[in-house]
Amino acid sequence: MMNKTTNWILWVVLLLILVLYPRLFGFYFTNIFVVFAIYALYAITFNILLGYTGLLSFGHAMFFGTGGYATAIALERIQGLPLFPAILIGLLAAIVLALILCPLLVRVSGVAFAMLTLAFGQLMHILAMKLRWLTGGEDGVGGFPIPPFNIPGIVSIDIANPTNFYYFAMAVLGVSIWIIWFITKTPFGSIQTGIRDNAVRVDYLGFKVRHTKAIVFIISSGFAGISGSIYALFQNLISADDAFHVGNSFAPIIMTLVGGMGSFFGPIIGSGILSIIDELATRYTERVDLVTGLILILVIMFAPTGFAGFLSFIKENLFRRASDKTAMEKTL
């Protein structure tokens, strides 16, 4: 009982911090927080592939980028398109891309899956550069109108204002993260982890491994599309080097690893840690990627379970009797 109450209090405090954040920290840090939240969702969609299903994708940026481009192009071309249909277009575009690719991708796993996603990600990058009439080439799509958040007859909020955008983004991203979290708790989520641990056995138990992989892939891609779409709205610009670049595919991998891929909230922590590092590193050096690369190497070498694993290691070892050696051996 006590535990449940503490949990509720924690959630309320977290919510309060989220609501008051723009007033407490001001304009600059609010924008940083929005980017952090976008990447948190993006990293979570990546983690349901890697951490939950055991599929390492090296081209996740293609869905992020497709979502972003679809929303941006739709808002640019269609006059007076409302906000939610624009995001929906981003979601659908990412899902369509996933549907096209998944017949090919679900047949392979491991390194072949990684290489295929990498190759298709690069292909999308090239296409975004070459199809100038649609994507604007290197310049990307920018300066499109951002429609207000509008519920007819009730409310109309201008989200071009950073504070309003913050609340809007938090709502969309929060709901998305909650839906993904909910999915991982369903029986379907258990099949997912089953595939990660022993695909052959799941197959013998009568579950369709390839179908499940395809569905997971589509869900993950769709939400990555949403994160890209929010990103495009936030920047009012989406460009090939920003969205489709291979570095953008590696970003969620690093976040997931730093945070801990075994845990659902690991990627969020990882995204937070990396935004902080990014923010600090840009003040001292131009070569931010050097710092992230070194961190990646260090994490893999010395903390392969990431920050979440580190936390549970401390929990197991400090809050139990020292003589309880089995727990320690297990974590090691």
Partner 1 sequence: MDPTTALYVSQGIHGLAYGMVLFLVASGLTLIFGMMSILNIAHASFFMLGAYFCFQVLSMTGNFWVSLLVAPIAVGFLGALCERFLLRKVHAYGHVGELLLTVGVGMVILESVKIFWGTESLPITVPPILQGLLKIGGLEYPIYRLFIIGLAFVILGVMALFLYKTRLGMIVRGAVSDADMVNALGINVPVVFMLVFGVGTWLAGVAGVAVSPIMTVYPGLSDQVGMDAFVVLVTAGFGSLKGAFIVSIIFGLLNAYGVQFVSQLAPVLMFSFMAIVLAFKPMGLFGEIE
Task: Check binding of 77 to partner 1 (CB under 8 A).
Answer: no
Which residue's CB is nearer to partner 1, number 90 or number 252? Answer: 252
Footprint on residues 230-249 left by partner 1 (CB under 8 A) = 246
**In this chain, which stretch among 113-121, 157-165, 170-178, 188-196 interacts with partner 1, using CB under 8 A?**
113-121
**Shortest Cβ distance from residue 270 to partner 1 (Å)?**
13
Beta bridge partners of 141: 238
Which residue's CB is nearer to partner 1, number 13 or number 280? Answer: 280
Which residue's CB is nearer to partner 1, number 17 or number 297? Answer: 297
The residue among 78, 66, 171 whose CA lies nearest residue 125 is 66
The residue among 258, 269, 324, 326 whose CA lies nearest residue 295 is 258
Task: Check binding of 296 to partner 1 (CB under 8 A).
Answer: yes
Among 13, 14, 78, 126, interactor with partner 1 by CB under 8 A: 126
Compute the residue count for the chain.
332
**Shortest Cβ distance from residue 156 to partner 1 (Å)?**
44
User: Rounded to the nearest 10 degrees, how much is the dihedral formed by the CA atoms of 189, 193, 198, 201?
Assistant: -20
How many C-beta atoms surround the C-beta of residue 80 within 10 A?
A: 7
Residue window 275-294: x/- pattern of binding to partner 1, with contact defined by CB under 8 A: ------------x-xx-xxx
How many C-beta atoms surround the C-beta of residue 56 within 10 A?
A: 18
Contact 236, 146 (CB under 8 A): yes
Contact 246, 57 (CB under 8 A): no
Token pair listed for 207: 């579950």
Q: What residues make contact with partner 1 under the rule CB under 8 A?
A: 50, 56, 104, 107-108, 110-112, 114-116, 118-120, 122-123, 126-127, 130, 246, 250, 253, 257, 287, 289-290, 292-294, 296-297, 300-301, 304
